[in-house]
A and B are shown apart, each in its own frame.
Chain A
Amino acid sequence: DADVTQTPRNRITKTGKRIMLECSQTKGHDRMYWYRQDPGLGLQLIYYSFDVKDINKGEISDGYSVSRQAQAKFSLSLESAIPNQTALYFCATDGFGGSEQYFGPGTRLTVT
């Protein structure tokens, strides 16, 4: 089984709708991340969490919120989706600062 799973894998939604992307990991790590990837751009950090009680904004958090339900679960929400949030979204986890990150398979989100 995959170390990091994401649901849904693909989602098409309309402008103004609320949508939640879910992430689960079986690595037993405390640290989890949400990234966004647009064509030709690097991975941009949306939110990160270093343990269940620690949530931090990344470089592009506007329009997004997160919830850390357990050590293994980290969800990303778009409160009111807009077309420029169309992108590929990745969840990741690592064991300690600077160590390798394990990524999920991604969620392709399209906002029409």
Chain B
Amino acid sequence: SQKIEQNSEALNIQEGKTATLTCNYTNYSPAYLQWYRQDPGRGPVFLLLIRENEKEKRKERLKVTFDTTLKQSLFHITASQPADSATYLCALARNTGGFKTIFGAGTRLFVKA
């Protein structure tokens, strides 16, 4: 079955630096890869979606890359701010059984002022 691996250790960075989070997956390549932000006790909030035929997608300070050869996505937050502190979830969707999405456990990011 498909597995998603995200670093379970928290990432601590200094304000203003670029945060880079990793999402690795096994088995099949997804048609879509998504990134969500989740604050403690709250529901995930969608950030970016990248398709299997895309290499990179940007939105303001966010950038996502997708390497189907390495089976990996990188999520970058440039000029990070303390308000970016949250857990970031990677999610994959493939057209089997109606296109269900599966989620990784997420990586916790702490941005220090």
What is the interface of chain A, defined by CB distance below 8 A to chain B? 4, 35, 40-43, 45, 48, 50, 56, 58, 88, 90, 92, 94, 96-106, 108
* A42 touching B106, Cβ below 8 Å: yes
- Cβ contacts under 8 Å, B89 to chain A: 42-43
Q: Is the interface of B mostly helix, strand, loop or mixed?
A: loop
User: In which size bucket is the chain B interface?
Assistant: 20 to 34
What is the interface of chain B, defined by CB distance below 8 A to chain A? 4, 8, 31-32, 34, 41-46, 49, 89, 91, 93-95, 97-106
* B99 touching A98, Cβ below 8 Å: yes
* A100 touching B104, Cβ below 8 Å: no
Q: Which of B4, B8, B95, B101 contacts A101 (CB 8 A)?
A: B101
* B105 touching A97, Cβ below 8 Å: no
Q: How far is the CA of A48 from the CA of B89 in the complex (A)?
A: 20
- Cβ contacts under 8 Å, B103 to chain A: 35, 42-43
Q: Which of B34, B94, B95 contacts A100 (CB 8 A)?
A: B34
- Cβ contacts under 8 Å, A43 to chain B: 44, 89, 103
* B42 touching A101, Cβ below 8 Å: no
- Which of A41, A56, A98, A104 lies at the interface centre, i.e. has the most chain B CB atoms within 10 A of its CB? A98
Q: How far is the CA of A4 from the CA of B45 in the complex (A)?
A: 12
* B49 touching A103, Cβ below 8 Å: no
